[in-house]
Structure 1
């Protein structure tokens, strides 16, 4: 007799799941780890870029995880086809966020689209995810009205889970850059640099002299391009000639802790095509936390604001006096990038791509 599944979760908005997972769908396979707190999806490519997101327990209307060992907090990790998962989630049709007008405060809102792009005409049914036992397929059941669709996704054993040394490590105790800014500004900067089709993105920051925070595109056939996040005028020299701390105007937080011997400046190079794999998250998110450690590992953590199946009201719209506050939750998508070793890597990466990145 078959017992109850070791994991079940029900969501009333497959749209939310789809949008978050689509941000990291730059590779066909995803590693899945189911815990008591949520489901973590991780995707990597060429040991140079890793994207992950957690579908937290609060995102589901019901959530049950029963590890075989009662002392464990998580089920054994496995991998699935994230491409097949996304196709299943949109089987009844998900309104493409790329067709909606862009919210200048980050993300996309149905308020900017037309009547045919609203979430009401996308997914309004329920999504049930179940995992019968270790090694069994992951079952996705979507019901909309009287129509029910069920899909079983094969699960595969992973040799080295990301949380067991297989991921890209970020040394939080040795950060040389911490910045928080609107994700739309980062998205616009990458789009601007893309115009010259560069091979390399250079992150150039300093706590002493200009440029204080700039992104440079190098190696493109149309020349090099730089986007400079200029300092705020209020941080210029005061009347007594004492200069204040330079703070790029577009950031909420900007801290550079340059290692000794670098004269207060940190420059690190990354493969531009790898950075572009975070483009969907850049466009969807409201804010982004930029961190870089002394080894050059770059972390981009995007904060995505999702409401109860929609993106909520437009930020500039003032709600009625007695109207309840908009229900908005924050979800996060994290990307990590390994830097290029040296300037000669750009020329050789086409032949031996994997040798161009740190292990």
Structure 2
């Protein structure tokens, strides 16, 4: 007989059980698939923890100390000043020569010609250096350093030089000193020439329009700036300061009532009212006032003021001084 499918009659309870089993299997399959997929979908960010926390940011280094400021002391020239006088009053190291070299651009080629209002630099002084910056703090507080840093092998080197400071002392009157190491030998009458080894320049009485009186009222002695000048005899200082066209001048009243005047000085070494002795240094020659170069303009007068002049060379020779 041909093969035909035969329906097998099953009891009602058996059919219900088979249907239930098939339905449960069909429901379980998607559930297992979903759980399996979720197990493989772990985000990469959650699966891998960071290898290490970022290192704490180290504090920035302290800024380098600013360079020490410098301060420079200056002096404003007033009437009657000379480089020698300023250097002595301000205790300039190196004297008027150092002061001139430091201010050559202001003074010019002639150190004897300075004018009121000029600003001269006296020197510099350095401000104290700022303290060294503190070392930077450790990068993090959580990690202690493995070992303390080794102490420096040597202390920091001290500055090569101390800050330059110009100490300004109160001005003092210069102490008169002998012109030479050996005593000055005066003539038998007690007189000497106003400079050692005198050499005459412009003579007394020479006529010319450059002099307000119409003639030269004194005698010029050849003398470079800084040549010591000396009292020609014993006397008392009646003038010591700026004399206008005469520049820095000193005038001494002599024992016989005459007056000896010294003009164009670069430095004055005596003061009014001071008693001087023959040969005593009273200042230094220069080129202050109305001059064309350094020299000593020397006068002898019958009175203290201009216009009472007499021939100074004749006066000195009359008192035994060889010129």
Q: What's the TM-score, normalizing by structure 2?
A: 0.24
Q: Which has the higher contact order (CA 8 A, sep 6+)?
A: 1
Q: What's the TM-score, normalizing by structure 1?
A: 0.22
